[in-house]
Structure 1
């Protein structure tokens, strides 16, 4: 059974909705993905400011959450509609929406709940297509971390590569999937990706810059060893996998508290230090698993200073972007959720318990019908696929 699926993703940087379209079909034990392209629907400044004001450690109201759920849903709906028209010729079969994460409830290493907003009904109404959403809740209910959900897709994708390949996502939070080596596949959040970099850039430029564009500030700065050492004392890094984190922990007040009492630093030096923190913690995770190559994706791959620092930390381990394997680095997560939506529509599990820590694998998400009757495809002959092959790649 072939389907044309649009995957929607907005990460913890909450700057835009990425919509990636793909043709997906199963042959034997292999799921074949043909990328059709990606569009990015930038959040308006007002909406982005409202999201920022509602996220931890700020306090918010149910009224604000309700308003954001609708406004984000409308932004996702516009992105899906554009993707259907511009990438699929109006012939998409399904939309898979991750939504916008606004809270990930963790205590003592266990996840008790997770909240992604952006009402699926807005997407279904705008496009007329069925929508799979709320992907994370089923895994959390089964005792899992609910993240990183791309683990199963990464394992399928990198299964036949030699050695111990590591898939790395450099979003607001960095996460890895280890798909080979001596132990079963596993995945976890390594710590901040762009979260502290973005927070510092916004604060130190008084809001003029939302990010450290091309890592320019960090490139001019010098790493402060006292601040870096203090940041590396964070207990999260010593916890065993699987584990997840978010901006509930890694935010501006966290960075300011870590800086308290230290010699004042120039803005460029602070950016260099938090960029080095991301590179160091990711590299430590790769070394710990015996990784033989890193396949990176996410917005952080557009930061040459971060990538240079990461390669310097991992001398002898190739660090390449997912573009080299046929998946655009900035669209990789959106394509991953297109795959997860395809699996859900076919009644197939979208998690690996070894990657999330759940008691069992789960079929993910809830399905919102589109304009017509909801008709799910028949089961896949021969069971669930175990490999993912991207068109144009061997």
Structure 2
């Protein structure tokens, strides 16, 4: 089946559209990457989204506008991916949508909201669309995140030792396969979220992120600020757990800075970069990870990757590219896989990773004109995932 996976993460800078041929044979999902395109949100839409996210207030009118405009933007990305990567033969679109709120209190998730009306995608592409992946897991008592856990476990299965997958988006999440305690997946805390917010705040807006880690490389870690940031109680919660920009936004940085006085912008960025590296390493250490396979936008930041290597203290750190999974597109491919599982009636979660009462088939289906060709009813077992070169 030819599937387009659509993803926009907590950095909300662009929509990733990754296309793949996915086949299920004898319990093995074979994923052949067809390529990735990126569609940036236009500045007006990105500003409207930023202005509606916590801690800002919003209105139902704004929510309706965003749901429509984001859906249209996702539809445009899907049309382009179908045309450029699939030769117009995509059968299914799996759309994560844009997370705008993840309602977490007291260690539990009570609700989650992703915008990007899938009807626009189905209408524009003619494809069946799977969307709204997270709410079913939340309704079953799970965290609703990170949903890449099952894909990571299938993909890393068979590697020696205790491999861990790390995604460095706005929020960092890990999946650890094997080990004495069994599989686990959770959000460790901020990856790029606080760095991006501080760059915008401290530079007055010209830069949206720390390009090539240059600002962090030019600064020094400020120990008192780092200690204040590390005092955040979230880091000490046991997994499974999830978080987002509802907690890790610019006010989080402002409050920490208020206790240490003014600092050079480069020192603030260096400290926030080290915070990401430290909290990831602290989360992985007790789980006995023997290798870390990283993906996401943070892998393009050499200062962050260097800090991670230092904090991991000898545990090998590599990118998913080395294992055949494009680091920039891994989450989009993961949702392509989850969409494939959904239309085949197969569960997309691991209860041990999300905390749900049981595995669940995820998402809602919006029919399109093109009916996807499904695997035979006998193919109801998924044991592993392999990435196959075309």
2:388 maps to: 391
1:265 maps to: 263
1:352 is aligned to 2:350: yes
Rounded to whole Å, the distance in 2 between the matches of 1:361 and 1:55 is 30
1:125 is aligned to 2:108: no
Rounded to whole Å, the distance in 2 between the matches of 1:96 and 1:384 is 21
1:303 is aligned to 2:282: no
Matches within 5 A, 1:1-394: 3-371=1-369, 377=374, 379-392=376-389
Structure 1 residue 263, shift from structure 2 partner: 2.9
Structure 1 residue 377, shift from structure 2 partner: 2.5
Rounded to whole Å, the distance in 2 between the matches of 1:382 and 1:116 is 31
Q: Deviations over 1:337-394 (max 9, x none)?
A: 000000001000000000000001000000001135x56735542522110000049x
Q: Is the 8 A contact 1:57 1:248 kept in 2?
A: yes
Count of residues in Structure 1 that have an aligned counterpart in Structure 2 = 390
Q: Secondary structure at the match of 1:255?
A: helix
Structure 1 residue 315, shift from structure 2 partner: 2.1
Structure 1 residue 45, shift from structure 2 partner: 1.0
Q: Deviations over 1:24-77 (max 9, x none)?
A: 111112110000000001111111111110000000000001000001001100
Q: Is the 8 A contact 1:23 1:33 kept in 2?
A: yes
Rounded to whole Å, the distance in 2 between the matches of 1:378 and 1:283 is 40
Q: Deviations over 1:273-328 (max 9, x none)?
A: 00000000001112121100000000000111000000011121110000001111
Q: Is the 8 A contact 1:6 1:84 kept in 2?
A: yes
Q: Is the 8 A contact 2:137 2:356 kept in 1?
A: yes
Q: Is the 8 A contact 1:98 1:133 kept in 2?
A: yes
Rounded to whole Å, the distance in 2 between the matches of 1:280 and 1:65 is 36
Q: Deviations over 1:233-275 (max 9, x none)?
A: 0000010000000000000011101111313110000000000
Q: Deviations over 1:122-163 (max 9, x none)?
A: 000000000000000100000000000000000000011000
Q: Which runs of 5+ in 1 are unaligned?
A: none
Q: Is the 8 A contact 2:36 2:329 kept in 1?
A: yes
Rounded to whole Å, the distance in 2 between the matches of 1:323 and 1:21 is 16
Q: Which runs of 5+ in 2 are unaligned?
A: none
What is the TM-score when the length of structure 1 is the normalising length?
A: 0.97
Rounded to whole Å, the distance in 1 between the matches of 2:57 and 2:373 is 41
Rounded to whole Å, the distance in 1 between the matches of 2:341 and 2:301 is 33
What is the TM-score when the length of structure 2 is the normalising length?
A: 0.98
Q: Is the 8 A contact 1:292 1:318 kept in 2?
A: yes
Greater Cα shift, 255-264 or 127-136:
255-264
Any runs of at least 4 consecutive aligned residues in structure 1 with deviations exceeding 4 A, and if so which?
A: none
Structure 1 residue 223, shift from structure 2 partner: 0.3
Rounded to whole Å, the distance in 2 between the matches of 1:212 and 1:24 is 35
RMSD: 1.1
Rounded to whole Å, the distance in 2 between the matches of 1:106 and 1:243 is 9
